[in-house]
Chains A and B, each alone.
Chain A
Amino acid sequence: MRIRVNPIMCEAHGLCAELLPEWIRLDEWGYPLINPDPIPRHLEAHARRAADACPTLALLLEHD
């Protein structure tokens, strides 16, 4: 599973980086910088939680 952001939807709320700091950090304007590698199994539940928590539903979980 990989995580991707729809940059048109994203409004830099930043919750994703709070909920998944191992995989997502924020740039200087508050937009997510996402590790493009497959998410390790032990973080998958956190990734789902981050995607669900996004106020604009901009995060996508893509299954390889």
Chain B
Amino acid sequence: MTTTSPDVALPRLLAGVSFRGMAQLERHVEVHGPMPAPEELDATGVIGLAERSKLRGRGGAGFPAAIKMRAVRAARGRPIVVANGCESEPISGKDALLLHETPHLVLDGAALAARAVGADRVILAYEGPRSDTRISLEHALKQRRAARVDSVRFELFAAAEKFLTGQETALMAQINGGLPRPSFIPPRPTERGVRRRPTLVQNVETLAHLALIARHGAGWYSQLGTAAETGSTLVTVAGAVGMPGVYEIERGTPLPQLFAAAGGVTGELAGLLVGGYFGSWLPAALASEVELSNAALATHDASLGCGVLVALPASSCPVAETVRVAIYLATETAQQCGPCVHGTAAIARTLHGIAEGRTSAAAFADLERWTSAVSGRGACHLPDGLAHFVATALRTFAAAFDDHASHGPCDACGTEPLLRFPDPVPTARRA
């Protein structure tokens, strides 16, 4: 479905990104054109565009944006919009990039979302420790106030640095003054979220797409992508490629094409991680064939999720990498739901035992049972995500896990970790 016409080609979201200091409003309008005024595009118009373009959430879950907007609009009470830029997936860099390099696109999209649901207030949540993000957003908001661009009020919210911080209900809890812990549904945030008001939470990339759809139309948007998965998408490429980083691709792009754009694969691969820490491990052979759409990835029990793609080099140990992430995720549980607290700890502990070569005969059977038993049994998807990550690792790297179980750590176990996560916050100790 690609076309060569310059006005539909890539980059779209990343057009005008220069990496040269603060983003300027004038330059933004020069590149993308002005945002359609309410007289040209009203609430129904915005929702209609979201629906016809088949815009889906880009935070990982891929929920249709128009359905959420309608639910918030139909709920009782004055709605609030939350632009979710927390991006707690450690390898992902796309949301931070948008907030730095093209904040006005995100803010335009947030203002349009507010218009769609009838909100007068937008809360922009970003990863708290990132003061660079805050500076970029404050600068952008100052320019917009001076130019009187917006009729909505923007507030910045510094979210906690936790894996679950961007989970919709956990973000809601923080904004409401609580800890970053998911809550049970119902109620949905669309009915009762921030300050008990109907709340539209959308990922910042989703909002940036909305800003472009409002300017160029639903037809323009879906000229890229597949019939079911329209438009372009941001992905973060990491690992054994020449130029790791954030790339904008058409949905359905073959993975070899993306890797070529990212400077090519730099050596033999052990495997691929698709979709980040809630994602799937796939055999390295798929690097030369798989297409980056959820439909194509589903045949391999994978999905694009938040768009993280890691090429794990053969010099890294897939067992060691998997175990470290499993331990990290198990420590990031919100400690609320029994099956998650016990299940994720048991999975991480048993995996660690296998990696160290001290393990019981039942270890693999235990892991198989736990990875299926914890799925869907928490208030959020942390247990499901960890279980899937581990189950796909056990399948893809079966020989390596068997080898570690019998012989302990391999030569590659000591290699510098590729899959990273924030340093654990030191816990307070009594003197």
With CB as the reference atom, state the residue of chain B lying closest to A10. B338
Instruction: Name the contact of B337 in the complex, choosing from A7, A30, A33 (C-beta under 8 A).
Output: A7
**8 Å CB contact of B379 from A7, A30, A33:** A7
- Chain B residues lying within 8 Å of A33, measured Cβ to Cβ, are 373, 377
Query: In the assembled complex, which residues on chain B have CB atoms less than 8 Å from the CB atom of A7?
Result: 184, 336-340, 377-379
9 pairs of residues in contact across A and B, judged by CB atoms under 8 Å: A6-B379, A7-B339, A7-B340, A7-B378, A10-B338, A11-B338, A27-B339, A29-B343, A31-B377
Please state if B377 and A8 are interface contacts (CB–CB under 8 Å): no
Task: Choose from A6, A29, A30 the contact partner of B184 (Cβ within 8 Å).
Answer: A6
- List chain A residues, Cβ under 8 A from B342: 29, 31
* Given known A7-B184, A8-B184, contact A27–B337 (CB-CB < 8 A): no
The chain A residue with its CB closest to the CB of B337 is: A7
A31 to B393 alpha-carbon distance, docked (Å): 27
CA distance A9 to B343 in the complex (A): 17
Q: Which residues of A contact B378 (CB under 8 A)?
A: 7
The proximity string for A residues 1-44 relative to B, scoring 1 for CB distances below 8 Å and 0 otherwise, is 00000111111100000000000000101110100000000000
A8 x B339 contact (CB < 8 A): no
Q: Which residues of B contact A6 (CB under 8 A)?
A: 184, 379
In the assembled complex, B88 has its CB within 8 A of some CB on chain A: no
Cβ of B183 within 8 Å of any chain A Cβ, yes or no, is yes
| B336: min CB distance to chain A, Å | 5
What does DSSP make chain A's interface, helix, strand, loop or mixed? loop
How far, in whole Å, are A63 and B340 apart by their CA atoms in the complex? 27
Within 8 Å CB of B184, what residues of A? 6-9
Given A6-B184, A8-B183, CB of A31 within 8 Å of CB of B379: no
A13 to B184, CA, bound (A): 19
Chain A hits for B338, CB < 8 A: 7, 10-12, 29-31
Bound-state Cα–Cα, A9 to B338, Å: 9
- Interface range for B: 10 to 19
Q: Name the residue on B nearest A58 (C-beta).
A: B184
Are the CB atoms of A31 and B336 closer together than 8 Å?
A: no
The 7 nearest A-B residue pairs measured at CB: A7-B337, A29-B342, A31-B338, A8-B336, A6-B184, A31-B339, A8-B379
Q: In the complex, A11 Cα to B378 Cα: how many Å?
A: 13
Contact call A29/B339, Cβ cutoff below 8 A = yes
Q: Write out, one digit per residue, whether chain B residues 327-347 have a CB within 8 A of any chain A CB (1) or not (0).
A: 000000000111110110000
Give chain A nearest CB distance to B46 CB in angstroms: 33
- Chain A residues near B339: list those with CB within 8 A: 7, 27, 29, 31
Q: Which of A8, A9, A27, A30 contacts B373 (CB 8 A)?
A: A27
Chain B minimum-CB-distance residue to A9: B184
Provide the residues of chain B in CB contact with A31, threshold 8 Å. Answer: 338-339, 342, 377
Residues of A within 8 A of B337 (CB): 7-8, 10
A30 to B215, CA, bound (A): 55
Q: How far is the CA of A9 from the CA of B183 in the complex (A)?
A: 10
Cα–Cα distance between A30 and B337 once the two chains are bound (Å): 12
B residues in contact with A30, CB < 8 Å: 338
How far in angstroms is the closest Cβ of chain B from A53?
18
Instruction: Give the distance to chain A from B72, nearest Cβ to Cβ, in Å.
Output: 23
In the assembled complex, the Cα of A20 lies from the Cα of B343 at a distance in Å of 24
Complex Cα spacing A8 to B338, Å: 8
Residues on A with C-beta less than 8 A from B340 are: 7
Give chain B residues whose Cβ lies under 8 Å from the Cβ of A10.
Answer: 337-338
Known pairs A7-B378, A7-B379 / 19 extra A-B pairs, C-beta < 8 Å: A6-B379, A7-B336, A7-B337, A7-B338, A7-B339, A7-B377, A8-B183, A8-B184, A8-B336, A8-B337, A9-B184, A10-B338, A11-B338, A12-B338, A27-B373, A29-B339, A30-B338, A31-B338, A31-B377
Contacts of B377 in A (CB 8 A): 7, 31, 33
Report Cα–Cα, A31/B341, bound state, in Å.
Answer: 11
Q: How far is the CA of A10 from the CA of B336 in the complex (A)?
A: 9
Within 8 A of A (CB), among B10-48: none
B residues 301-346 in Cβ contact with A at 8 Å: 336-340, 342-343
Most buried by A among B183, B339, B340, B342: B339
Determine which residue in A9, A10, A12, A27 has the highest number of CB atoms from chain B within 10 A of its CB, and name it: A27
User: Smallest Cβ distance from B347 to chain A, in angstroms?
Assistant: 13
